[in-house]
Amino acid sequence: MGDIRLPFSNSFSQLPSIFYTRMPAEPFVENPTLIHANPSLCDVIGLSKESLSHPQFASYFSGQLSLPGSDSLAMVYSGHQFGQWAGQLGDGRALLLGQVTTPAHGQWDIQLKGSGKTPYSRFGDGRAVLRSCIREYLCGEAIHGLGILTTRALCVVGTNQQVRRESWEPGAVLARVASSHIRFGHFEHFFYHYPGSDYGRALADYVIEHFFSELMDTPDRYRFWFHQVVVRTAALIAEWQAVGFCHGVMNTDNMSILGETIDYGPFGFMEGFDPHYICNHSDETGRYAYDQQPLIGLWNLQALAQALTSFISETDLREGLGEYWIHFLTTYEIKMAQKLGFEIVTDDVRSLIYDLLELMEADLADYPLVFRLLSESLLDTTRWVSLFKSTDAALGWLSRYHHEILKGGSSHEISTRLNLVNPKYILRNWVAEVAIREVEDKANYAILDDFLTIFHAPYDEDPQFERFANPAPEGFGEVCVSCSS
């Protein structure tokens, strides 16, 4: 078998070295072991499927060996964490191997997470634990399966090395794939650390050239670009809200400049509907609670705007920020209307949406199931109504809803439409925990095949996986997720 070949183009490392530190990964004592690889990303990054069984695959995608053609580096960035300026951060445990480019799929970053210390590690060990790599691996695919922009991952590699967190845990490396890993915090870094410099503009030029190329020849390109960043961020957060996704750590260093979901840590999907839900146990004030996410999106964009004042006028930035709420609300309401099977948002539809959310909140009704079982409710209301404690209120809403929705088609047509937009499977915390326990305790790596199957097609019924569509079985215990990863 020949060596592993990827179509590296490595555009980021062509930028001046102020943006990064070029370096190799920190080696492991033992050779790493492949836990799981995701064949659906092979075409995207121009990797042959046979490469997944290459004897050195795990060594290459953990950083133990340097991948031919890569030009590895750690990026520097800064950021606001929990509302406070945190100063310089950067890839403290990640290494960008470079960019690959294919004619069909364009340019992608490949990044290792957990590959060892860098000059930006501060007090950290540069490593990642297997538990959080599995969560990120599955959640990236789950969010992608839901049609939401996100980083994804090619594989999880076990390092056969223990990592110290609250206790000793097995370590791992995640090979992450994203359009780009450039964050809001990159721009903040150059604005605050190099005042008066042109570095922020140079980075914007890179981003525009590679991801907003339609703006390249526009004289006002920076202004239009910022506008696009606002629109993409607003749309991303609207999608999160509609699907019930809580990111958990929306610091400006965890915000992608391309509006992709990035940095999965203590995330959580909404189950019993509680708008004040805080998925991250380290978030004591609820800054990143579910219902705060839209506002935090704007806060983060304001922090970004401040960092762009060196090359975009305050008037233009303010105008861009002024577009946020309308884009957020429009996208959110369209998504919610679609979840009810409507194509346009009328006043009647709007009141159905918000009345339903109020009922769900009062009874902590299961968010994904309430929407998924709407299709079944057209034939039999029993299971849907059983999701609520106040049966009369639930039945009252349902009959209003049926009356309205059945104006638009037969119950069969509507039911089909509903099942195409309301996922059967979301990555519930307990389901992620099942995956982690199977991998860590029983070395059952093949279970990740099942979970990729489920989350790549979250709208499909599959009787063998039925139980994963439901809340945690009785006695499963609470799953606690914090920033420790």
Q: Which is nearer to ligand AMP, 122 or 276 (CB)?
A: 122
For residue 229, what are its two tokens?
Answer: 């960043």
Distances (CA, A) of 200 to 7, 51, 203, 305, 399: 28, 38, 5, 12, 55
Min separation Cβ 219 and Mg ion, Å:
35
CB-nearer residue toward ligand AMP: 7 or 87? 87
Per-residue binding string, ligand AMP, 193-232, x by CB under 6 A, is: ----------------------------------------
Q: Which is nearer to ligand AMP, 73 or 405 (CB)?
A: 73
Q: Which of 26, 125, 205, 355 binds ligand AMP (CB under 6 A)?
A: 125
- Does residue 89 interact with ligand AMP by CB under 6 A? yes
Residue 121's binding partner out of ligand AMP, Mg ion, none, with CB under 5 to 8 Å set by partner kind: ligand AMP
Residue 221 CB burial class (10 angstroms; 0-12, 13-18, ≥19): middle
Are 150 and 144 in contact, with CB atoms under 8 Å apart? yes
Phi-psi region of 114 (alpha: psi -120 to 50; beta: other; left: phi over 0): left
Terminal CA-CA length for the chain: 36
Q: Please identify, using beta-carbon distances, which residue of 122 and 318 lies nearer to ligand AMP.
A: 122
What is the crossing angle of helices 324-339 and 221-243, to 10°?
A: 30
Which two three-digit tokens encode residue 95?
Answer: 């290494």
Does 113 contact ligand AMP by CB under 6 A?
Answer: no
**Residue 263 contacts Mg ion per CB under 5 A:** yes
What's the rounded Cα separation, in Å, for the pair 425 and 430? 12
Binding site partner of 396, from ligand AMP, Mg ion, none, Cβ cut-off 5-8 A by kind: none
What angle do the packed helices 221-243 and 314-321 form, to 10 degrees?
20
Residue 180 or 422 having the CB closest to ligand AMP: 180
Alpha carbon distance 355, 350 (integer Å):
8
Residue 90 binding result from Mg ion, ligand AMP, none, given CB thresholds of 5 to 8 Å by partner type: ligand AMP
**Structure tokens belonging to residue 127:** 């490593």
d(CA 118, CA 13): 16
Strands 73-75 and 78-81, sheet pairing: unpaired
Distance CA 443, CA 36 (A): 11
Contact partners, residue 53, CB within 8 Å, separation at least 6: none
Rounded CA-CA distance 229/207 in Å is 11
Stretch that binds Mg ion, among 41-49, 254-262, 353-361, 452-460 (CB under 5 A): 254-262
Catalytic residue among 253, 263, 283, 366: 253
Contact between 92 and ligand AMP by CB under 6 A: the answer reads yes
Answer whether 340's CB lies under 8 Å from 360's CB: no
Contacting Mg ion (CB under 5 A), which of 254, 256, 338, 377? 254
Of 136 and 263, nearer to Mg ion (C-beta) is 263
260 contributes a contact to Mg ion by CB under 5 A: no
Minimum distance between the CB of residue 185 and Mg ion, rounded to whole angstroms? 8
For the question of residue 316 being annotated catalytic, the response is: no
Are the CB atoms for 101 and 13 separated by under 8 Å?
Answer: no
Q: What's the min distance (Å) between Cβ of 112 and ligand AMP?
A: 12
The minimum distance between CB 254 and Mg ion, in angstroms, equals: 4
Q: Which does 124 bind (CB under 5 to 8 A by kind): Mg ion, ligand AMP, none?
A: ligand AMP
Which of 146, 207, 236, 249 binds ligand AMP (CB under 6 A)? It is 249
Binding-site member from 9, 21, 56, 121 for ligand AMP (CB under 6 A): 121
The stretch among 30-38, 117-125, 311-319, 452-460 that binds ligand AMP (CB under 6 A) is 117-125
Residue 47 CB coordination number (10 Å): 25
Compare residues 89 and 394 and give the one whose CB is closer to ligand AMP. Answer: 89
Interhelix angle 184-193/199-211, nearest 10 degrees:
160
* Binding site residues, ligand AMP, CB under 6 A: 89-93, 120-121, 124-127, 249, 253-254, 263, 265, 483
User: Which residues are catalytic, by number?
Assistant: 253
Please give the residue ranges that form the binding site for Mg ion (CB under 5 A).
Answer: 254, 263
